[in-house]
Structure formats: C-alpha cells, structure tokens
Amino acid sequence: MVTHRTRLLTWICALCLSACASMTAVKPVASKLQANDLDAGGDIEGAATTAWPDAAWWRLYGDPQLNRLIEEAVAGSPRIAAAQARIRVAQGMASISDAALQPSIEGGADIDRTRFSHDYYIPEDINGHYLFRPVWNNSAGLTLAYSFDFWGRDRAALEASLGQVKVSEYEAQNARLTLQGTVIRTYAELEYAYEIEDHERAILDAEKQTLDLAARRLQAGLGTELEIQQARNAVAATEAQLEEVANHRVLLRHQLAALGGRGPGAGDAITRPAMILNQVVGLPSRIPAELIGRRPDVQAERWRVEVAAKQIVVAKAAFYPNVDLKASLGLVGIGFGQLLSASAVSSSIGPAVTLPIFEGGKLRAGLDVRTSQYDLAVDAYNAAVIEALRQVADGISHLASLETLRQRRAQTLSYANRAHELAVIAFRAGLTDYNNVLSTEDALNRAQTLIAEIGLQQITSMSALNEALGGGLQVSP
C-alpha cells in the first residue's frame, strides 16, 4: 500500500532529478600511450640480453665504502625524510576521505539562563516557569548523520585519495633512486680526481728530474738558461694543477657528506674509492613493455592519471542530489529539573536532500577543470614513457660508444707515452731541445686525462642505465 509519505518522497526525488544543474558532455581528449606501440630502435633491439637491475644494484661496483655511503644517504637524507612525510600526509587525507563514507555521531549539551522576549511566539509560562524572567533553558542529545552516496562521489573521492598515496610512495622511491645515482656519480668523480692526481704527480716527478738535468747541462756548458726557465715553468704549472685537484677532492667529500645528511666534517673519513666496472652491458628482455612497471617516475604519473579519473567522477556526482539520513535523540526542557524528566525527550529522523538548481555554471566549470586535469595527467604520463625509453636507448648507445672510444684512447696513450720516452732520451743525449720534451709531455698528459675520463663516464653511464631501468623496482605494469 502506497502511503502519503511514499508519494511525497517520490515527488521530491523526481523534482530533484528534474531540477539538477545541466551537465555538458565534457569528455577527455587525451589517451594513454601503449609502450609496445613505440619504436624501440636498433640500439635497444640489438642489445645483449641481461637481467633487470637488483634492488641493491650499486653493489655491482664492488666497493664497500660506496655501499655504506648510499645506505647512510638513504637513511639520513632530509629529502627522503620529506618524501616519507608526504606519504603520511597522503595517508591522512585518505583517512579523512574514508570517514565521509562512515556514519557520524555528535553529542552536545547547552545549559544557559534565558530571558525570552514578550514578542516571542511562546506562552508566558511553561511547566510553572515564568519565561519573561531568566530561566534555565537546557538541552542535551545525540545527532546521527549518514550519507547514502548514491552517485559514488564519496567512494570516488576515497579512491582518489588512495591513488594519491600511491603517487607519494612512487615519488619517494624515485627520490631514493635519484639520490643513489647522485652518490654514485659524486663518488666516481672522487675516484677520477685521485687518478688525475696520480698522473699529475708522475708528470711532476719527471719534470723535476728534467729540471735537474737541464741545470746540470747548463753547468756543463751544454744547455741554455731558456731550458731552465721552461722546465721551471712546467713544474710550477703542474704543482698548481695538483692543488686544484686536491681542493676538488675536498669539495667532493663535503658533497658526499651532505648527501648523507651530515656535516662536511664527516667527509674527512672517506678514503680513496675502489670501484670496479665488471657489469655486462645489455638490456633485459621485454623492453619497453615491462619498463613502465619498473620506473617509479612513470608509475607516479600513471597513478596521477588514476587520481584525475576519480576526480572527474567526483565532479560529475556534484550535479546530482545529495541524500543524507539525519536522526537526533535528546532532552529539551525549560527549567533545570525538567531536563531529566520523561516529557523532555525529543527525537527526529528522516532524509535530508540537497540539490544544485542554479549555481551560475560553477559545477560545469569544475567538471571542465577536472577533465582538463585528466588530459594533463595523461600527457605527462605519455611524456614520461617516451622519456624513459629514450634514456634506456641513450644509455645503451653511450656505453657502446664509450667502449670503442676507450680502446682508441688506450692506443693513443700508448703512442703518447712512447713519444715522450723518446723525447726525454733524445734531450738527455743532447740530440734535441727541451721544447720536444714539453710537447710530448703535454700530449701524454692529455692522453692520460682522457683515458681516466672514459673510466668516469663508463661508471656514471652504467649508473644512469640502471636508473633508467628502474633501479630494481618491481611493479606490475
């Protein structure tokens, strides 16, 4: 049997639906890239097959001190701590969104002395209390509220908040991966500085011997003052270069200490690096399909797309009526003693319906904004996928080029070393002047610097490739 209440509720709901704000047919225009649709290129397709990086991929360099520095950096970096704090903030916001799906109960009590106006709509006295003098006007009770969430607004808001938690988690992992790579590059530069210092010291020893020989030749009447000054100038220039290298080593130690969240004094304990490069240059299988699931930055962008999609649902739900259940139970009484009497009991229960009728285009504009934000998130995701694939291709190509370049520079170093040896022998025998020694020495110095630089680039490029492959992150695409 249909009651008057049912008819009234049906009529109200129909009115609500017919009076809702107009929703335009706003749809996203961007679409996510499929990684397998991208042309990986010959460098990736022709690379040797190897395993995905391990979670502790930097241990392949075989340097215990490097392992310790990275662990200290991850544990002590303020940036990592800030990333973890952002995760907690996102989790807190998700808890707030979850609370919207739960019923809420509030309690309250008002105890006050009230003097009612003569023009008020109540009689002069209630329960024997004359109301035109101050009387106790008391109330106490509980109020229950529950949103039915017919259109899924609160559920979508919760899913968006949970998606933001995932974004924060992957951002934290990306910050950790970036920090690890920065420590490795700085540490490799420190090793390079030591190698350059070794070369400069060897050159300085040779230059001092040559200076001594030039002085003895001058005393014997076989040399000139010009040769002495040239030799002294070479010694001074190399000593200045050694000072620059020593200062650079100090600065690198300070940087490593700062990366670990410590003061510069902690860098004093860092000894000479002992990194080795015995990793197989190659790529895992299923590139680029699995690459998406192993890059924390790409995963963060993917979850931003999910968050934006849920926010569109929230924006659409705002166009529809909001139906809540509200109930209250309490005590209301005029006079202090009447508050606890049976006649003071008050209760109510029923639905509360709110709907947008005219809001000046605010809801449509909000939906437009959310849809555009979804397009932006998709475009950012697509850009991250393309950039990830480019970084992998660049890494494998650069490492192959560096190996070829290393072989050629090793040959150049051999030639430069032999030329310098011959120039020194000829000078000591009086067959040539000191300019030939300086010329071959400069060529040798450049060749030694270049071969050491190749080692630095190989270490840092291998680190960059491991970072491009996700640094050991394992997530389903």
Q: What is the DSSP string of 393-461?
A: HHHHHHHHHHHHHHHHHHHHHHHHHHHHHHHHHHHHTTSS-HHHHHHHHHHHHHHHHHHHHHHHHHHHH
pLDDT of residue 18: 46
pLDDT band at 165 (very low <50, low <70, confident <90, very high): very high
Q: What is the DSSP string of 30-89?
A: --PPPGGGS---HHHHTSPB-PPPPTTGGGGG--HHHHHHHHHHHHH-HHHHHHHHHHHH
By percentage, how much of the chain surpasses pLDDT 70? 90
Instruction: Return the H-helix or E-strand segment holding 248.
Output: helix 225-259
- Write the pLDDT tens digit of every residue in 15-41: 444 444 555 567 888 888 887 777 778
Start-to-end Cα distance in the chain = 55
pLDDT of residue 9: 54
The CATH number of the domain covering residues in 18-101+149-319+361-468: 1.20.1600.10
| Average pLDDT estimate for 382-393 | 91
Which amino acid belongs to residue 5? R
Please tell me the total number of residues recorded for the chain in this structure.
477
> Between residues 358 and 188, which one has the greater pLDDT?
188
CA distances from 376 to 32, 310, 382 (A): 11, 14, 10
What backbone phi and psi angles, to 5 degrees, belong to 353? -115, 130
Strand 322-334's sheet: what is its strand order?
Answer: 104-114, 135-147, 322-334, 345-354
Task: Return d(Cα 130, Cα 391) in angstroms, integer.
Answer: 85
Look at residue 138 and give its three-state secondary structure.
Answer: strand
Task: Return d(Cα 215, Cα 220) in angstroms, integer.
Answer: 9
Instruction: Return the H-helix or E-strand segment holding 333.
Output: strand 322-334
pLDDT of residue 378: 94
Instruction: Return the H-helix or E-strand segment holding 105.
Output: strand 104-114
| Average pLDDT estimate for 371-379 | 92
pLDDT of residue 12: 53
- Write the pLDDT tens digit of every residue in 35-80: 777 777 887 888 888 888 888 999 989 999 999 999 999 998 899 9
pLDDT of residue 212: 85
| Average pLDDT estimate for 116-124 | 71
Task: Return d(Cα 22, Cα 15) in angstroms, integer.
Answer: 14
The residue whose two tokens read 């009387």 is 135
Residue 288: cis peptide before it, omega within 30 degrees of 0: yes
pLDDT of residue 116: 73
- Write the pLDDT tens digit of every residue in 231-258: 889 889 989 999 999 999 999 999 999 9
| Average pLDDT estimate for 127-141 | 74
Radius of gyration of the chain, Cα coordinates, nearest whole angstrom: 39
The residue whose two tokens read 């020194």 is 424
Residues β-bridged to residue 329 = 142, 347
For domain 106-146+321-354, which CATH number applies: 2.20.200.10, 3.40.50.300, 1.10.3080.10, 1.10.260.40?
A: 2.20.200.10
Task: Return d(Cα 212, Cα 206) in angstroms, integer.
Answer: 10
Q: In the chain, where are the structural domains located?
A: 18-101+149-319+361-468, 106-146+321-354
Whether the CB-CB separation of 185 and 93 falls below 8 Å is answered with no
pTM of the shown model: 0.81
pLDDT of residue 272: 93
DSSP state at residue 352: E
pLDDT of residue 423: 87
- Write the pLDDT tens digit of every residue in 269-324: 999 999 887 777 778 877 877 888 889 999 999 999 999 999 999 888 888 888 88
- Write the pLDDT tens digit of every residue in 78-110: 999 999 999 999 999 999 888 888 888 888 888
pLDDT of residue 453: 87
